Chain A
Amino acid sequence: MSEVHKDYAGAKFGMWLFLFTELLLFGGLFILYGVYLHRYPEEFVKAGGELNVVFGAVNTLVLLTSSLAVAMSITALQKGNRRLTLVLLAVTIASALIFLVNKYFEWSAKIHHGLYPDSPHLKELAPGESVFFGLYYVTTGLHGLHVVIGGALLAWVFVQVRSGRVHAEDFVALENSGLYWHLVDLIWIFIFPLYYLIL
């Protein structure tokens, strides 16, 4: 195209729309959660008791910190402080990794106890508990996938900032990746109470 023009408002508008579709994607799972909780309240409480609040709480803290870091990195870039931007982005990416490692340990422990989809142990439990764990794995798995994607996106932006292609006058790539990361955080803020706290 002859003239390269950038429409920031348009780019952000598009990103918001996309985030909306992501929310709806998880919305389907939350609907199932609602219906099955309504149907099996006791089994859900029993199965939910198996989840370790410490793992969930640590991950919540990690994500909240990372959301703060990415928000600050945008301000830093706007002020032209590239070094600080890079440090803050590194913190965010590191948080994503910590989150995933933590999730790995959490899942390993569950699997070790024979609690995984299609496991013989689950088949012996009441149907409601089986459904609970099915939802637990699908929801946190899908969320984990989003953490991976968000982390990769931020790593890409990190490279762009370092090479100077994303800078104080042209930072919509960072802003949109930041928005994506906030979404990942936001969804977790729903998952955490639903699975770890209220049951």
Chain B
Amino acid sequence: MAETHLQATAPDRGFLTPREDYSGLFSWIFSTDHKRIGLLYFWSIVTFFLTGVTLGLLIRLELFLPGKTIVEAQTYNAMFTLHGVIMIFLFIIPGIPAAFGNLVLPIQIGAKDVAFPRLNLLSWWLYAIGAAMALGSLFSGGGAPDTGWTFYVPFSVQTTTNVSLAAFAVFILGFSSILTGLNFITTIHRMRAPGMSWGRLPLFIWSLYATAWVQVLATPILGITLALVLVERLLGTGLFDPTRGGDPIMFQHLFWIYSHPAVYIMVLPGMGVISDIIPVFARKPAFGYKAIAVSSIAIAAAGSLVWGHHMFTSGMSDMAVLVFSLLTFVVAIPSAVKVFNWVATLYKGSISLDPPLLFALSFILLFAIGGLTGLVLGAPATDVHVHDTHFVVGHFHYTMFGGTGMAFFAAMHYWLPKIYGRMYNKRIATIAWGLIFVGFNVLYLSMKVVGMQGMPRRYYDYIPEFTRLNQLATVGSWILGIGVFLMFFNLIRGTFRGQPVGDNPWGGATLEWTTSSPPPTENFEVDPVVTHGPYDFKAAGIL
């Protein structure tokens, strides 16, 4: 970094100022400052995201025409497996909590740091080690894993590719996730500034709190499931092998007991970001603060009971199918509560269409589409028809990418000016948003339609009838890809060269906007005392 040049234009670089204790890179990878750790997470997560996007673009390129287009079938299998593993375990699960949670959680509750700063650093190290192992599985052992990110048995036990290392990598990443969750729960309980009652917590904090509980309670199950796949492969214990009395369906139960709640680890923090952004850009207090806060907890709780909807076609009793289907529909209620409250907050607000809000609005729309198509999958009768087709792939990209991904982008545009003290070019940000939004819908809507017509997922080849829609999807992926790269180009340029912004460029009323940009190492020059709610713009003197 061109430190000297930057200091000339921005006098106070806060926590970004080079440290005496360690030099250069080491002052980052050994730092226990939650903001530095947050940035470490942020930039590593962005790197993996871009890797994953590149793989996604290659997958789409291969599907441009039936038959072989650019790679062989085995390479294709490895590509979608790695794409899934990266996007799920390296991007979407740690994305908002580990990067933005670490960056703003302590500041928003008026604390100097998280409860366990060294544990926090350990979490990042575990993340880095896990990520290195996941990538290492590509180039070692019997070659890149080809099981898909779900590691379903019996194939994951039989394949000669390097599943063992990949599964172990995910185990380590899970550990990192648990430690982050544990740290956040303790921090929220113990470190709130005077006056920061539970009723005054920003909604982002509420969502992180609910997420953290899911992280702590669900992730161990994933740990044991993957550990079992490992011992199956290494020792042949046969716990999932029918010829030895085991049952592969038990793997699916254990896997989804974690992985469905994990969907909420992915999406709840995104909802929290949106809940924080909307009031600021509508210049109105959040409508139904309590309902939004409580619905986070309700989603976390109800969402832990619905895993069976992934297994309607795996052979369950009719009763079980009925119960899981019912419960799945129930989760839609608290999610809808949130959407209604966001819309009500926007209603009659004085709206400024800045980039953070644009991404927040696309979150609401795309997540709603994803959620509604989720109901198609939650109903057993329709699920049987579209199970394991591109319809499913379209659905989860709408929720995960259209939901959490957009929230991640919104958070970047909302908080990075705070963290770096500089603003990106808003016009370019808006153009990038437009490209992303259009490309996204062209890509995934086509995938939903072709899935509805019967194109299976995880297939290298397809019948000629599907060609048209696949080509449309691939063209959409190009528009989307250009938008994504333009967005990051603009952000990175902004963090180095952008106009300096004051403490509160958006006019927010939460605590992070009361400290300088970038914040000082200890977050506040004077320890804050909280006297009003997070969206009380009048009391904050903004309106």
| A residues at B contact (CB < 8 Å) | 1-2, 7, 9-11, 13-14, 17-18, 20-22, 24-29, 31-32, 35-36, 39-40, 43, 117-118, 122-123, 126-131, 134-135, 137-138, 142
**Which 6 pairs across A and B sit closest by C-beta, in order of nearness?**
A127-B245, A118-B236, A28-B224, A134-B237, A131-B245, A24-B220
CB pair B238–A117 under 8 Å, yes or no, is: yes
Known contacts A13-B189, A135-B237, A142-B227, then 18 further A-B pairs from the complex at CB < 8 Å, ordered by chain A residue: A10-B115, A10-B186, A21-B178, A24-B217, A27-B220, A28-B220, A28-B221, A39-B245, A39-B247, A117-B231, A117-B236, A117-B237, A118-B237, A122-B244, A126-B245, A128-B245, A134-B239, A138-B228
| B residues at A contact (CB < 8 Å) | 32, 112-113, 115-117, 119, 178, 182-183, 185-186, 189-191, 216-217, 219-221, 223-225, 227-228, 231, 235-239, 242-247, 250, 253-254, 522
Closest Cβ of chain A to B190, distance in Å, is 4
CB pair A134–B238 under 8 Å, yes or no, is: yes
B236: nearest chain-A partner, CB-CB: A118
For B244, give its contact among A24, A123, A138 (CB under 8 Å). A123
CB pair A135–B217 under 8 Å, yes or no, is: no
Question: Dominant SS at the A interface?
Answer: helix
Q: Tally of A-B residue pairs with Cβ under 8 A?
A: 111
CB pair A22–B236 under 8 Å, yes or no, is: no
- Contacts A35-B250, A43-B245, A130-B244: A138 and B231 contacting too (C-beta < 8 A)? yes
CB neighbours of B186 from chain A (8 A):
10, 13-14, 17
CB pair A20–B116 under 8 Å, yes or no, is: no
CB neighbours of B113 from chain A (8 A):
1
Kindly state the separation between the CA atoms of A1 and B520 in the bound complex, as whole angstroms.
Answer: 12
For B221, give its contact among A2, A24, A118, A130 (CB under 8 Å). A24
CB neighbours of A10 from chain B (8 A):
115, 186, 189-191
Closest Cβ of chain B to A116, distance in Å, is 8
Kindly state the separation between the CA atoms of A175 and B123 in the bound complex, as whole angstroms.
Answer: 23
- Contacts A13-B189, A131-B245, A134-B244: A20 and B217 contacting too (C-beta < 8 A)? yes
CB neighbours of B221 from chain A (8 A):
24-25, 27-28
CB pair A36–B254 under 8 Å, yes or no, is: no
Kindly state the separation between the CA atoms of A87 and B381 in the bound complex, as whole angstroms.
Answer: 66
Kindly state the separation between the CA atoms of A6 and B517 in the bound complex, as whole angstroms.
Answer: 29
CB pair B183–A14 under 8 Å, yes or no, is: yes
Q: Which of A35, A117, A128 has the most CB of B within 10 A?
A: A117
CB pair B182–A14 under 8 Å, yes or no, is: yes
A128: nearest chain-B partner, CB-CB: B245
Kindly state the separation between the CA atoms of A152 and B185 in the bound complex, as whole angstroms.
Answer: 27
CB neighbours of A7 from chain B (8 A):
115, 190-191
For A13, give its contact among B178, B190, B244, B250 (CB under 8 Å). B190
Kindly state the separation between the CA atoms of A38 and B119 in the bound complex, as whole angstroms.
Answer: 41
CB neighbours of A142 from chain B (8 A):
227
CB neighbours of A25 from chain B (8 A):
220-221, 223-224
B235: nearest chain-A partner, CB-CB: A117
Closest Cβ of chain B to A56, distance in Å, is 20
CB pair A2–B522 under 8 Å, yes or no, is: yes
CB pair B185–A127 under 8 Å, yes or no, is: no
CB neighbours of A126 from chain B (8 A):
245
Kindly state the separation between the CA atoms of A57 and B219 in the bound complex, as whole angstroms.
Answer: 33
For B235, give its contact among A9, A27, A118 (CB under 8 Å). A118
CB pair B115–A17 under 8 Å, yes or no, is: no
